[in-house]
Amino acid sequence: MLRAAVIGAAGYTGIETVRLLLGHPNLELTIVTSAADSGRRLEDVYPALAGCGLVFEDPAACDVAGSADVVFLAVPHTASLALTPDLLEAGLTVIDLSADFRIKDAAVYEAWYGTRHTAAELLERAVYGLPELTRAALADAQLVACAGCYPTASALAAAPAIEAGLLAPGPVLIDAKSGVSGAGRTPAPNTLYCAAAESVQPYKVGSHRHTPEIAQMLSAVAGGPVAVCFAPHLVPMSRGLLATVYLRAVEGLNVEDAVDAYRSRYAGEPFVTVHPAGRMPSTHEVCGTNRAHIGVAVDETSGTLVVACAIDNLVKGSGGQAIQCANVALGLDETAGLTAYGPVV
């Protein structure tokens, strides 16, 4: 049994990672930290975890290196820059849920995140954590930079068409919608109930920090630069994410051939389901799970391939994906701890 720690466990992505690790057959959760909630029982902060027996520890005082083999960093962007070098030096496997090591070019990171990258020497070692597209590189990885929630759904939707040569030249257009939990636990004016309820709002169009990450992943798949236009939206639900991707199709592409290409690409993938032609996914059907459900359509009038991907932003878009990556990196069954079905009502 390997020992696991979650640093920053009180946030939404952190506590979802905790929830999933509590049911993992091969990982024992030994440390959970939160500076704000240090000394409090988890069940006092999150009553749904009653009986787990864990207490939040102060991240500055606990001995992570001496009490864990793998550490999940569920910390804000830039925080892992200071933590990761020492954790790696201590011999731990680091699964970083933040964006600090996702973008390979430090200058691009600095431009989009507005801060200096203080651990750029580790970027070459970091493996991008999207198992369906980077599985081979994840094996034995010591530093995993887990894909963001929007990039996960967007890349899973677009990559098979790019790989199969189904696209004519043109930008990738992404219309994505996420629940309020994607904004994190810290209150903000636009995520308060009165602002978010019964309203849908696009935000950071053309300037969202996931844009270069999506472009980097799709360019790697294409073997050359891919232009991305990304429009995220905040929708009034607690969790869930739907990315609808619009791609210029090659002449003569029909929906049956497109669905066949997607099913062939994801055949054998334990967490990806490609729906039959005519059926699109919903966020409800993947709620609470590490699954990605994909629907494919072809608008023959405009020559557009339309692909929608639904995930749970807190599971496949965050904590669940982190565990899936850890399973691969540690040589465990990739599905360990992630096979439970979600609620059906």
- The pTM score is 0.97
Helices (H), the chain: 12-21, 42-45, 64-67, 79-89, 106-113, 131-138, 149-163, 193-196, 211-222, 255-265, 320-329
What does the pLDDT read at residue 80?
A: 95
Q: What is the DSSP letter of 249?
A: B
For 239, other C-beta atoms within 10 Å of its C-beta total 22
Domains, in order of start, for the chain: 2-147+316-329 (3.40.50.720), 150-312 (3.30.360.10)
What does the pLDDT read at residue 186?
A: 86
Query: What's the rounded mean pLDDT across residues 64-80?
Result: 95
Helices (H), 164-296: 193-196, 211-222, 255-265
Distance CA 177, CA 241 (A): 6
Interval 263-277: pLDDT, tens: 999 999 999 999 999
Query: What's the rounded mean pLDDT across residues 29-38?
Result: 95
What does the pLDDT read at residue 227?
A: 96
User: Residues 95, 139, 119, 16: what is their CA dihedral angle, to the nearest 10 degrees?
Assistant: -10
Q: Which one of the listed residues 149, 287, 309, 325 is annotated catalytic?
A: 149
3-state secondary structure of 146: strand
Distance CA 50, CA 98 (A): 27
With a pLDDT cut of 70, the percent of the chain lying above it is 100
What does the pLDDT read at residue 61?
A: 81
Interval 177-210: pLDDT, tens: 999 999 888 888 989 899 899 999 999 999 999 9
Q: How confident is residue 219, by pLDDT bands cut at 50, 70 and 90?
A: very high
Distance CA 83, CA 137 (A): 23
212 has a pLDDT exceeding 90 = yes
Catalytic site includes residue 309: no
Specify the residue for token string 């207490």: 55
Interval 96-147: pLDDT, tens: 999 999 999 999 999 999 999 999 999 999 999 999 999 999 999 999 999 9
345 has a pLDDT exceeding 90 = no
Sheet bearing 143-146, strands edge to edge:
27-33, 2-7, 70-73, 93-96, 143-146, 127-129
